[in-house]
């Protein structure tokens, strides 16, 4: 009897994983900071969760006395306005779905909730941890409360880019027109299976936190940069249509060139912000120059860089280019001999470089500048974890 009672009192629990996404047409600037509505649409590639993911467990129980949150094993502030916005929205949808009546079998919405979340990559290192984190939070909560509807709008309330992590493959975040934000949501442009040869290399140059957080940075840009206004109103709408066409046609030349131009323009708007914001470092610029020299040597676009609000480079390439370019990076930024694994993630073959290529592309090596390279590819959206042994919270509701 005691065991049966204990089982009945065990918390209801759901665990999900969610991916990181990398924008190729950048989001920078909100028209509504409370609802997180953007000044322009954006387009991203969802990365595979085998290499980069957030795992989140959400649990609810009549025995919990307060809402609690743990991030990477440490207790964090569950009262954070954006966490609260997601909780509030999910509970509101659950209430609406039940038509106001309390279903005896359904989880009580009055129960307090415990949430534990873990990344398999460094947080706030310019690897879009907030996108994966909030997408994962919303997926786990939705699962806990039995919701199945459009959830990208809820994830957007946590972090704008999180709405794009609610889908796999290639994803557009539509700016929307309505002041209430109900049409500002994510749509899948193409699934991850659409372009099987596409590969992604993340060149991690620093696991440090960025100098100016994205939230503060982008609002200063909105207030002070005329270039950003021009970008949002004139440049992005045209680029978005072009980028969707390049993806549909699997045109790497067009995709790569446009990704690089859009990254450069985003960082130009940061420089046009007053006071200016610097996310790219000397090392970032070194990687940019390397990519251009490499492409020039080959006579077409074989690699394409994009940088978010931080110094880490994300390089797109087709699978047949990866081994050679990784070797070029290794020669340009020789890793410390005693260091960790330099190439992580998907396996990378070995490549011999011609003397002509080395002479043209590898100029002055900078030892130890790139910490490691993560090799990954486009992947699916949030996944439910069925195996109870994978829950991040125990039967007592604690990590």
Residues 6+ apart with CB under 8 A from 307: 126, 263, 266, 267, 279, 280, 284, 313, 314
Contact 55, 393 (CB under 8 A): no
Q: What is the DSSP letter of 232?
A: I
pLDDT in the model for residue 105? 63
Q: Which of 8-22, 201-215, 260-274, 374-388 has the lowest mean pLDDT?
A: 201-215
**3-state class (DSSP) for residue 358:** helix
pLDDT in the model for residue 208? 66
pLDDT in the model for residue 370? 93
Q: Which of 122-131, 181-190, 378-387 has the lowest mean pLDDT?
A: 122-131
How confident is the model over 279-298, as pLDDT tens digits?
Answer: 999 999 999 999 999 999 99
pLDDT at 217 over 80: yes
pLDDT in the model for residue 99? 78
Report the DSSP beta bridge partners of residue 27: none
Burial track 280-315 (b if 16+ CB lie within 10 A, e otherwise): bbebbebbbebbebbbebeeebbbbbbbbbbbbbbb
How confident is the model over 27-65, as pLDDT tens digits?
Answer: 999 999 999 999 999 999 999 999 999 999 999 999 999
Report the DSSP beta bridge partners of residue 116: 57, 70
How confident is the model over 295-352, as pLDDT tens digits?
Answer: 999 999 999 999 998 889 999 999 999 999 999 999 999 998 876 789 999 999 999 9
pLDDT at 100 over 90: no
Domains belonging to the chain, first-starting first, are 12-97+107-191+385-390 (3.30.230.10), 198-376 (3.30.70.890)
Report the share of the chain in percent with pLDDT over 70. Answer: 93
How confident is the model over 243-254, as pLDDT tens digits?
Answer: 999 999 999 999
Q: What is the mean pLDDT of the chain?
A: 93
C-alpha–C-alpha distance, residues 265 and 116, integer Å: 37
pLDDT category at 124 given cuts 50, 70, 90 is very low
pLDDT at 386 over 80: yes
pLDDT in the model for residue 80? 95
Mean pLDDT calculated for residue range 85-102? 86
Tell me the CB-side half-sphere exposure of residue 187, using CA atoms within 13 A.
Answer: 8
- Positive or negative torsion for Cα 264, 324, 122, 285: negative
Written as one string, the DSSP assignment of 70-124 is EETTEEE-TT-HHHHHHHHHHHHHHHHHTTTS--TTSPPTTSEEEEEEEESS-TT
Among 258, 22, 214, 239, smallest CA distance to 230 is for 239
How confident is the model over 173-213, as pLDDT tens digits?
Answer: 999 999 999 999 999 999 999 999 999 999 998 666 667 78
How confident is the model over 24-37, as pLDDT tens digits?
Answer: 999 999 999 999 99
Q: Write phi, then psi, for 108 (nearest 5 degrees).
A: -65, 130
pLDDT at 103 over 80: no
């Amino acid at each position: 009897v005691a065991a049966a009672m204990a089982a009945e009192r065990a918390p209801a629990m759901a665990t999900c994983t969610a991916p990181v996404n990398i924008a190729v047409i950048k989001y920078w600037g909100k028209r509504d900071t409370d609802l997180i509505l953007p000044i322009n649409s954006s387009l991203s590639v969802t990365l595979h969760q085998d290499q980069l993911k957030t795992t989140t467990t959400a649990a609810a129980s009549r025995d919990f006395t307060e809402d609690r949150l743990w991030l990477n094993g440490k207790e964090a502030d569950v009262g954070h306005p954006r966490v609260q916005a997601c909780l509030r929205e999910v509970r509101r949808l659950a209430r609406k779905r039940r038509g106001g009546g309390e279903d005896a079998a359904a989880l009580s919405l009055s129960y307090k909730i415990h949430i534990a979340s873990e990344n398999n990559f460094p947080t706030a290192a310019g690897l879009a941890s907030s996108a994966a984190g909030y997408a994962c939070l919303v997926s786990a909560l939705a699962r806990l409360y039995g919701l199945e509807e459009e959830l990208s709008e809820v994830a957007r309330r946590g972090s704008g880019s999180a709405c794009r992590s609610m889908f796999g493959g290639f994803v557009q975040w539509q700016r929307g027109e309505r002041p209430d934000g109900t049409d500002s949501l994510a749509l899948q442009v193409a699934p991850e299976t659409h372009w099987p040869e596409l590969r992604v290399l993340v060149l991690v140059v620093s696991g440090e936190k960025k100098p100016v957080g994205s939230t503060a940075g982008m609002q200063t840009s909105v207030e002070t940069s005329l270039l950003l206004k021009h970008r949002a109103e004139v440049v992005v709408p045209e680029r978005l249509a072009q980028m969707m066409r390049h993806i549909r046609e699997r045109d790497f030349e067009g995709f790569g060139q446009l990704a690089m131009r859009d990254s450069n323009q985003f960082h130009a708007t940061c420089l046009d912000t007053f006071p200016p914001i610097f996310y790219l470092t000397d090392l970032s610029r070194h990687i940019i120059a390397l990519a251009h020299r490499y492409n020039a040597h080959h006579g077409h676009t074989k690699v394409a860089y994009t940088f978010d609000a931080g110094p880490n480079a994300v390089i797109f390439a087709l699978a047949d280019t990866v081994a050679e370019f990784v070797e070029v990076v290794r020669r340009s930024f020789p890793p410390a001999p005693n260091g960790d694994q330099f190439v992580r993630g998907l396996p990378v073959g070995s490549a011999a470089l011609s003397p002509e290529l080395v002479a043209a592309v590898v100029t002055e090596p900078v030892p130890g500048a790139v910490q490691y390279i993560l090799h990954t590819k486009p992947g699916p959206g949030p996944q439910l974890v069925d195996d109870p042994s994978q829950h991040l919270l125990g039967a007592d509701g604690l990590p």
